[in-house]
Structure formats: structure tokens, C-alpha cells
Amino acid sequence: MRSSPFIAALLALLLPALAGAQEIERVTFDEAVQRAIANHPTVQQAAAGVLRAEALLQQTRSRSLPAVDASVTTSVVGPLTQFDGVSITPRTQTLTTAGVSVPLYAPVSWAARHQAEDQVLASQAVQADARRAIALETGRAYLAVIVQRRVLELNERARDNARAHYGYADERLRGGLGSRLNAVRAQQELSGDEARVEDARMALRRAQEALGVLVAVDHPVDAAGEPSFALPALTTADLDLVRGRTDVLAIVARQTAAERVFSDAWKSYLPTATARVAPQLLTPAGLFANSRSWSTSLQVSIPLFDGGLRRGEARERQALLDVVRSERSDAERQAASEIRTAREAIQAGERALAHARAAATQAADVLGITDTAFREGATTNIEVIDAQRGARDAEAAAAVAEDTLRQAQLELLGAVGRFP
């Protein structure tokens, strides 16, 4: 008993800190999407892919540009060879050479440079599509948090109603006016609602954790509010909308790159020409060697026979081009289907939401009437419990219908390339 004031003081200090540690960060819809785009590893990997493509372009471009090199060689020889008492070659001699190589005609290197430029554009398109994919996934996770929180609130309300009904039934039992069957039946409904509340609370936590992973933080994240999606008037033709999507543009960029690689296959049969100028400095000079000299050369390489290597490479390039063309056709067909489906889903979702809200209002009226009748002794609590279940299910169906409509609106924005 002596330690109770100390324990109370310690709890007074620790409880606020524990409560603060359990607070969940809340973000708006736009904040969640922007943070996911900026921090998610998938987007960062796509950005690294762009940097890698640019580095490869720099390496490829260097092969078609002039190159300068230099070397210093020191030689020590022995025994010395002499002529009339003079050494023909000094014991220690240093040769300094500089060289400038200029590609005069390099069609393969020039083609490789253009192909590398196409790969940069393709990687940039992949990065844009990665941003779109992560934004859509984050939007879906954000909406999942909203609907799970709504379901939790509905289950908590149903539990509170069941608790109130059980309290009334138990009070009547204690007063000798009710039956034990009514009390136990009400208690059973309360226990079931308590279990549903725990399940809904865990589902909400999972949704918050999933949103936190997409936002790239080490803790769950909660939704700060419900987003509103303003659907623009879409006057553009569906085909143009499909071709403007980032996933289709990424495949188009890959197809363009594959077409260039295939069309450049014939350049591997062309010769290459390189000129080289190399001045030299020899110190000390030998008896029959000049201190300063230079050399120039012109190297022409003509591929004659390669055992079918280039023909095989051309066939491989054709196969890769056929694959990416097929992928583009499938992606455009899938995108057009998504646009049509999203439009139909919005129309159906609006109708379903109106009916679900009407059903929830009607179920609430039924519950009120049934509860009043039970308190007046006109019905049993079986009708009350059924009315409570019906009201809970109707409100849950309305919440799900709201989420379905929001998801359909988000899907339409993503399908037409207007999100993010």
C-alpha cells in the first residue's frame, strides 16, 4: 500500500507517452499518392533504370568519338652494343608515345548509339508507368482503409445497440418481467457483435499497414479523409486515350527500340575505317634512332565470313520485335476493355449505392419500430435481433457500395491515363 502513490505517479507519466506512441499517422489522399511516388522502391528502381540507360548511352557514344591515349615505357638493356666506342642503344631509355584515334566510318557504332538513345526513352517510359502503377495501388489501399474504418464503425454501433438490448433484457429478467431465454439470446448477439468488432479492427489495421508499406514508412498509416474524384468530361476518342496511357507508351517505346535494332541489322555487313596519329619522344636517343618521330595509320576492317553469326542475330531481333508487337496489341486491347468496364462500373455503382442507402434507411426504421414494439410487449426479442442484424448488414452494404463507386471512379481515371 505504501508504493501505490509512486505507482500512480509512474503510470501518470508513462500512459501519455504510450498513448502518443500508439497514435497512427494520418495523411490525405494526395499526400499518400505523392509520398508513394517519391519513396516507393519500385519507382526508385525505375529511376535507377533510367540512370543506367543514360550511362550505357554515354559508353556507347564514346565508341564513335575520337580517343586520345598516351604511354610511357622505360627500357633497361645490357650488355651494351657499341660502334666505334659509342653505344648504339643507351642502357636506360624512355619512350613516350601519344596517340589520337578517329573513327572515320563506323556504321555499327553509330547505330548502337541511336539504339542506346531509344533505350533511354524506353526506360523513361517504364519509370512513368511505374509511377502510375504505384499511384493506383496506393489509391486502392487508401480507399481500403476508409471502407474498413467504416465497417468497424458500423460493427461498433451494432455492438452498442446489442449491448443496450442485452442490458434491457437483463434488467427485465432481474425485475421478474422477462425470460432468461430473451436475456441469453440478447447476450449471444452481443458476443457475436464483439467478435465482429475485433475482426473489423484487425482488418482496418491490415489495411493501414498495407498503406504504410506503399508510402514507404515503417509504421501503419491512416486515411485522413475521403477523397473526391472529379471525373473530367472525356471528349477524346477511346483509341487516343488508350495510346496515351503510360503502360501502352512504355510498350510503344520498346517497340520503337526493337524496330530500330532490327532495321540496323544490315549495317553489321559494312566496313569500318579508323585513322590513328601517334607522335613519339625517345630519350635519350640512340645512335640510329631519332629523338622525335611520328606515325600515322589508316585501318579498314571488312567483315567477310562469320559462320552465320549476323544472320542468327537478325533472326533473334525479328523474334523480339514480333514479341513486343504482340504485347502492344494485347495491352491496347486490355486498356480499351478497362475503359469500357470502368465506365459501366461507375454507372452500376451509382445505382447500387442509391439502393443500398435506401435499404439502410429502411432497415433503421424497421429496427426502431421493432424495438419500440418489443418494449411495449408486442413482439419477442427475436424480431429485435433480426432487425439489428438487418440494419447492420444494410449499413455495411451501403459502405461497401460507397467504396465500390470510389474504386470505380479511381479505376476510370487510371484507365484513361488521368491519374495521377
Cα angle 258, 263, 269 (rounded to 5 degrees) comes to 125
Which pLDDT value is given to residue 11? 54
Q: What is the DSSP letter of 231?
A: P
Which pLDDT value is given to residue 145? 96
* pLDDT tens column, 188-198: 989 999 999 99
Burial label, 123 (beta-carbon count in 10 A; 0-12, 13-18, 19+) = buried
Chain centre distance of CA 28: 19
Angstrom distance (rounded) from CA 322 to CA 315: 11
* pLDDT tens column, 333-352: 999 999 999 999 999 999 99
| Helices 309-375/246-263 angle, 10° precision | 170
Which pLDDT value is given to residue 230? 81
Start-to-end CA distance of the chain, whole Å, equals 62
Query: What is the pTM for the complete model shown?
Result: 0.82
* pLDDT tens column, 194-233: 999 999 999 999 999 999 999 999 999 999 988 988 887 7
Residue 277 pLDDT more than 90?
yes
* pLDDT tens column, 347-396: 999 999 999 999 999 999 998 998 888 888 787 778 888 888 898 899 99
Which pLDDT value is given to residue 178? 75
Angstrom distance (rounded) from CA 264 to CA 114: 10
Chain centre distance of CA 80: 72
Which pLDDT value is given to residue 123? 96
All three cell numbers of 249: 507508351
Which pLDDT value is given to residue 1? 43
Q: Which domains does the chain have, with CATH numbers?
A: 25-65+106-268+314-415 (1.20.1600.10)
Question: What does the chain come to in residues?
Answer: 420
Which pLDDT value is given to residue 235? 80
